[in-house]
Amino acid sequence: MNQTPSPFVANAGEENPTAEIGRPEAVLKTSALHGAILNATNFSIIATDEKGIIQFFNVGAEGMLGYTAAEVVNKINPCDLHDLDELMAHAEALNKDYGKSFKPGFEALTFKASRGIDDVHELTFICKDGKRLPVSVSVSVLRDESGVIIGYLHMGTSNAANKRVEADLRTARLSAEKASLAKSDFLVQLSHELRIPLQVILGFVQIMESSIPPPPLSQQQNLTQIHLAGRYLLDLSNGILDLALIASDNVALSPEPADLAEVMRRCQALLEPQARKRRIIVTFPLFDTPCFVNADQTRLKQVLMNLLVNAIKYNKPGGAVTVACGPGLKSPNSIRISVSDTGKGMPPEKVLQLFQPFNRLGQENGEEQGLGIGLVVSRKLVELMGGTIEVESVAGEGSVFWIEFGTAEAPLVTEAKHVTVEPPAMLVDSPIRTLLYVEDNLPNLKLVEQIIARRPDLRLLTATDGKRGIESARVNQPEVILMDINMPGMTGLEALQILRRDPSTAHIPIIALSANAMPHDIAKGLEAGFFNYVTKPMRVDEFMEALDAALRFSRLTYTGVVEND
């Protein structure tokens, strides 16, 4: 390609290094310099005179725009190669910033450069064939030896590659998000499928354990082992749900002043049987004054229970676990809760791996069961609640885990309004009350049948799908309805809406009995109008409490409430 000589760059054949002023001779091998600029293909170099007429047009500019140097040099200015709307927007921005009245064109394009201000524009080249090419253009001023402006240098780099990279990154990010969502959905579905058989296993075990007369001692021991195994599977299911929530950033938290003394009491009550079995002495702090931290109390108990269970599980027989509370070290307005044990401890390299999911640090073949997800979930929950969690461990001596949260003011206590229910005079001789259970899983139907069979004041009707359940509710007018959610043909939520819209059934309290145990599932169900939401596998005593509350509500529909101030 033929290039018109530029007044700003020495001719390619010149070997005189004094063509450029004040430069080392080694740099100014002008034939090499001019050749490199002329033949650069990765970026465009366009030089103009002070009026904006193009004087130099390198190979990169020819390749980007499709024009030869002969077609543009001494004929047009760079603005003729750019999108007019973008030049207008650039001029309007300058008018706003500098209070001037620029017209879209060369003066606006070079205004900042003429005042010694670095200027880079995101513009679009209009190529010879009409294609549009997004570019970043850097404009610099050219001066003679006396400092007078003699022209401008426009260096452009194509944004097409960058935009392709950005598009690829967006595609990759969307694919990763889709894969993460698919993984979370799979984990949720897996947890749901685990809960369905666990409902039957744990439900029938509870019935057999509480039967009268009690089973022989040998059978009690067998039932205990089945119960423990079922509870372990349930814990795994809950851990899977927590992982799915964390992966989807959908963890539901209710930050509030959490009562540490109450949290400790609950943990102690839950841990005592396990600690006694392993001959571990667990010491909890005494609280002389109320102590509150800013956290979700339920999740705080979950984190603390996980630390305590691990401290007992990986301790030595006859060892000790000590729970302590004191001022935080991260902030003056914080409280540190530590859990220390007298177990085997860990070397530094294993401490670094503690919070990796599914990493059991070589305990896979040990006696203790687990997936290695408890600490991962605990760490995420602590961080989401604004706290910190750390660990120190010495091999052969034991470990200390601690969590730290900001302090909180004690919540205001308001006097509750007492509500008492006057039972009807005929309560003792009241007729048998009717329940309706809508469930497509036959083992679950059998389980609830046996539970209700222990209540002589109740009789149970069943329906195996939503349509039959609605028909039965309209005909039999039960006092309470138990409703599964995932049923073929019509879901429990759809059946609920139909029953709520029907004046003949709108008053009946409906309890959801479902393996959909995600917090948003429970919230969705309660918002839709369920009286209560019981997750599978259920604890029989908790189920009976929910049932009795619904029966009381149903009775109030007819007997009323007496309020005492």
Shared domain for 99 and 237, answered yes or no, is no
Structure tokens at 179: 């894969």
Is 409 in contact with 257 (CB distance < 8 Å)? yes
Tell me, yes or no, whether 412 lies in a domain.
no
Who wins on pLDDT, 37 or 53?
53
Instruction: Identify the band that residue 510 occupies on the pLDDT scale cut at 50, 70 and 90.
Output: very high
**Which tens digits make up the pLDDT trace of 51-68?**
999 999 999 899 899 999
Instruction: Using alpha carbons, select from 309, 327, 287, 422 the residue that is nearest to residue 373.
Output: 309
Residue 415 CA to residue 402 CA, distance in Å, equals 36
Instruction: Identify the band that residue 159 occupies on the pLDDT scale cut at 50, 70 and 90.
Output: confident
pLDDT at residue 21, as a whole number: 37
Block residue for tokens 């850097």: 138
What average pLDDT does the chain have? 81
Block residue for tokens 């690829």: 168
532: left (phi over 0), alpha (psi -120 to 50) or beta: beta
Instruction: Using alpha carbons, select from 197, 196, 200, 193 the residue that is nearest to residue 451.
Output: 200
Tell me, yes or no, whether 6 lies in a domain.
no
Tell me, yes or no, whether 444 lies in a domain.
yes
Q: Give the CATH number, domain containing residue 82.
A: 3.30.450.20
Shared domain for 175 and 98, answered yes or no, is no
Residue 411 CA to residue 231 CA, distance in Å, equals 35
Structure tokens at 133: 């090419």
User: What global pTM score does this model have?
Assistant: 0.51
The strand pairing partners of 562, in sequence order, are: 420
Strands 480-483 and 433-438: what pairing?
Answer: parallel
Tell me, yes or no, whether 309 lies in a domain.
yes
b/e code 491-528 from CB counts within 10 Å (16+ = b): ebbbbbebbeeeeebeebbbbbbbbbbbeebbebbeeb
pLDDT at residue 358, as a whole number: 57
Q: Give the CATH number, domain containing residue 371.
A: 3.30.565.10
Tell me, yes or no, whether 119 lies in a domain.
yes
pLDDT at residue 14, as a whole number: 38
Q: Give the CATH number, domain containing residue 545.
A: 3.40.50.2300
Q: Give the CATH number, domain containing residue 176.
A: 1.10.287
pLDDT at residue 117, as a whole number: 83
Shared domain for 380 and 427, answered yes or no, is no
9: CB partners within 8 A, 6+ apart: 33, 34, 37, 38, 47, 56
Residue 480 has pLDDT above 80, yes or no: yes
Residue 222 CA to residue 85 CA, distance in Å, equals 81
Shared domain for 481 and 525, answered yes or no, is yes
Instruction: Identify the band that residue 557 occupies on the pLDDT scale cut at 50, 70 and 90.
Output: low
Shared domain for 480 and 556, answered yes or no, is yes
380-389 LR contacts (CB < 8 Å, sep 24+)? 380/246, 380/251, 381/242, 381/251, 381/299, 381/302, 381/303, 382/303, 384/251, 384/253, 385/253, 385/255, 385/294, 385/295, 385/296, 385/299, 385/300, 386/255, 386/294, 386/295, 387/295, 388/330, 389/303
DSSP 81: G
How far apart, in Å, are the Cα atoms of 448 and each of 363, 443, 455, 536?
Answer: 39, 9, 11, 12
Q: Which amino acid is at 86?
A: E
When divided into structural domains, the chain yields a total of: 4
Q: Which amino acid is at 406?
A: G
Range of the domain at 37: 17-158
Is 12 in contact with 38 (CB distance < 8 Å)? yes
| In the chain, % of residues over pLDDT 70 | 82
Residue 531 has pLDDT above 80, yes or no: yes
Instruction: Identify the band that residue 360 occupies on the pLDDT scale cut at 50, 70 and 90.
Output: low
b/e code 289-309 from CB counts within 10 Å (16+ = b): eebbbbbbbebbbbbbbbbbb
Residue 162 has pLDDT above 60, yes or no: yes
Structure tokens at 158: 């194509």
Q: Considering 158, 182, 213, which residue would you say is the last residue of a domain?
A: 158
Mean pLDDT of the 32-37 span: 62
Q: Considering 196, 216, 247, which residue would you say is the last residue of a domain?
A: 247
Strands 320-327 and 281-283: what pairing?
Answer: parallel
**Which tens digits make up the pLDDT trace of 252-310?**
677 889 999 999 998 888 888 888 888 999 999 988 888 999 998 888 988 998 899 88
Shared domain for 150 and 229, answered yes or no, is no
Is 328 in contact with 317 (CB distance < 8 Å)? no
pLDDT at residue 339, as a whole number: 94
Residue 321 CA to residue 526 CA, distance in Å, equals 40
Q: Which amino acid is at 242?
A: D
Residue 558 has pLDDT above 90, yes or no: no
Region of poorest pLDDT, from 171-175, 187-191, 422-426, 448-452: 422-426
Residue 446 has pLDDT above 50, yes or no: yes
pLDDT at residue 505, as a whole number: 94
Shared domain for 56 and 29, answered yes or no, is yes
**Is the peptide bond preceding residue 213 cis, with omega within 30 degrees of 0?**
yes
Q: Considering 247, 267, 290, which residue would you say is the last residue of a domain?
A: 247
Shared domain for 433 and 381, answered yes or no, is no
pLDDT at residue 561, as a whole number: 45
Tell me, yes or no, whether 1 lies in a domain.
no
- The secondary structure of 130-160 as a DSSP string is S-EEEEEEEEEEEE-TTS-EEEEEEEEEESH
Shared domain for 242 and 286, answered yes or no, is no
Shared domain for 91 and 216, answered yes or no, is no
Tell me, yes or no, whether 183 lies in a domain.
yes
Tell me, yes or no, whether 413 lies in a domain.
no
**Which tens digits make up the pLDDT trace of 102-149?**
888 898 889 988 888 878 888 899 999 999 988 888 899 998 888 889
Question: What sign for the dihedral angle of Cα 80, 84, 87, 91?
Answer: positive
Shared domain for 46 and 119, answered yes or no, is yes
Instruction: Using alpha carbons, select from 490, 485, 494 the residue that is nearest to residue 536.
Output: 485
Mean pLDDT of the 438-455 span: 91
* Strand ranges of the sheet holding 119-126, from the earlier edge strand across to the other edge: 54-57, 44-49, 149-158, 132-143, 119-126
pLDDT at residue 98, as a whole number: 83
The strand pairing partners of 390, in sequence order, are: 402
Shared domain for 463 and 536, answered yes or no, is yes
How far apart, in Å, are the Cα atoms of 360 and each of 126, 148, 321, 324, 394?
Answer: 60, 73, 21, 26, 18
Mean pLDDT of the 374-379 span: 84
Determine how many CB atoms are found less than 10 A away from the CB of residue 560.
10
Residue 471 has pLDDT above 90, yes or no: yes
Instruction: Identify the band that residue 237 occupies on the pLDDT scale cut at 50, 70 and 90.
Output: confident
